[in-house]
Structure formats: structure tokens, C-alpha cells
A = this chain, B = another copy of it.
């Protein structure tokens, strides 16, 4: 399988793409990376993901797979080495639950916080903190280095944005979400995650992220204002 050609269509700042890159690296799968311009989408992307028109798209055996979490499941099923999901069905269900939680509760509320202003932002910051409290509790309960135990797994890859992207969101939005006194287990996890050999050498540059998210945050909140005033 590994000798067959693997492509990844991505976008440098996307946390959805980032988790797929990490997964391929953890598995030792070689692939060709194609950077996509999300503001001027290529005909290749539109052909490979006509339903969503989004990255990441993994192409394996000439077949395209979309949706980053589903791509992780695919990678784990095709390349068995260094499993991302646990073997036991109950443990698998738990891992999938926390990955979904990180994606839908933590990520969406932090993104809303970045892209809103005033009261709406305050509300989103509160939701982000509430979601992180549950994340913190689960990490404490597990008591392991990573969600995946002593090694990085499915939940860690999906939640990875908390370690490197959320601090940029906080800086761009001049807002405080990650408080080390409130989230000690999460801070330990962040430290372990960012120092993992696969992760530390594969992160977008912080200054480029800052500029990109400052611009996106302004564009999106301006759009919302113009909608509101329309």
C-alpha cells in the first residue's frame, strides 16, 4: 500500500490539514503535498471535493477522501503501524467522542470568539472556557501524557490546534482563554504535544499565522457588521 502514490491537497494555516500531515508523518507515509489557494480554488480541488470544495483532500490510489477526521480514520485503517485509535471498541468510541468534542465544542467556540466582537465575543470566550474545562477534566481523569496514552493518538491530533493555534487567536483577539492556573493538565498536554518530535518540526510559523488570522478575523467580523446593517 505504502508504495502507492499519496497526495494531500492542503492550505498552510488550516488545522484540519495540519492533523492529516501529522498523521501521515506518524505513520511514516510519504506523500506529495499540494498547496491550495482557498481564495481562488483550483479546478483540481473542485474536481476532487465537489460537494464541500474544501481542504484537506487526501488522494490515495487515485481516490479522493475528504473531511479531516474521516481522513484520520482512513489512514488508520489503511496503514496499521503506530495506531491512532485504540483497539478496544469502547476505547475507540471514547476517543471518537473527545475528538468530536474538541472539534465541535472547543474549536468552533474559539473560532467564534476570534471572529466576533463585543458581547458576542464575550459569550464565545465563555463557551470556549467551558469546553476547555471539560477537556481539562478528561485529561486529569486519564492522567497520561497524551489522550492516546503515552503516545500521540487520534484525539491529540484533532485537538492539536489548542496547542499552537489558540494562543495566536488569543493574541489576535486580545482575549484570555487558556489560563495556566485553571488548566494545568491542558498546559502539561500542550507542552508534551509541542515537544513531540513529529509535531515540533511541523507547525506553521507563528508570525504568518498572526497576520493571517488578524486579517481573517477582521474580514469576517466586518462581513457580519455589514449583514447586520443591511
**Residues of chain A having any CB pair with chain B under 8 Å:** 51, 60-61, 63, 65-67, 70-71, 73-74, 77-78, 89-90, 92-94, 96-97, 100-101, 134
Contact = CB atoms under 8 A, between A and B. Distances in A.
Contacts of A65: 90, 93-94, 97
Given A51-B134, A101-B51, A90 B63 contact: yes
Contact of A70 (B51, B71, B74, B93): B93
What is the total number of copies of this protein in its complex? 2
Nearest to A78: B89
A70 B96 contact: yes
- Majority secondary structure of chain A interface residues (helix, strand, loop or mixed): helix
3 nearest A-B pairs in the assembled complex, by CB-CB distance: A77-B89, A74-B93, A65-B93
A94 B60 CA distance: 13
A38 to B, nearest CB: 19
A89 B74 contact: yes
Contacts of A51: 97, 101, 134
A172 B93 CA distance: 36
A186 to B, nearest CB: 16
Counting chain B CB atoms within 10 Å of each CB, which of A78, A93, A97 scores highest? A93
A74 B96 CA distance: 10
A201 to B, nearest CB: 28
Given A61-B90, A67-B100, 17 more contacts: A51-B97, A60-B90, A63-B90, A65-B90, A66-B97, A67-B96, A67-B97, A70-B93, A70-B96, A70-B97, A71-B93, A73-B96, A74-B89, A74-B90, A74-B92, A77-B92, A78-B89
A28 to B, nearest CB: 18
A177 B115 CA distance: 32
